[in-house]
Amino acid sequence: MLFERRFGWVDIESDWMPAEEPPLTFSHAELRREARDFLHDLIADLCDLHESLADNPAIWSLQARFPRVR
């Protein structure tokens, strides 16, 4: 997959898309918000499965470095 940022927008293409099909285009802010939400949801699910993971300073650092964007 190819992600190309253009003035606040992100074009997404893949090698399995037909050549004549235009890339998918998303707002960079929206894509960023959704990616961070996914990260925090994933961390929450992993901490539910492995309770001691929630006490890991590396997880705290990851959550602090990439906070949810509202």
Report the alpha-carbon distance of residue 10 to residue 2 in Å, rounded.
10
Interval 8-60: pLDDT, tens: 999 999 999 888 999 999 999 999 999 999 999 999 999 999 999 999 999 99
Residue 69 confidence class, pLDDT cut points 50, 70, 90: confident
Identity at 38, one-letter amino acid code: F
pLDDT confidence of residue 6? 92
CA distances from 45 to 5, 8, 19, 40, 53 (A): 30, 31, 38, 9, 10
Whole-model pTM: value is 0.75
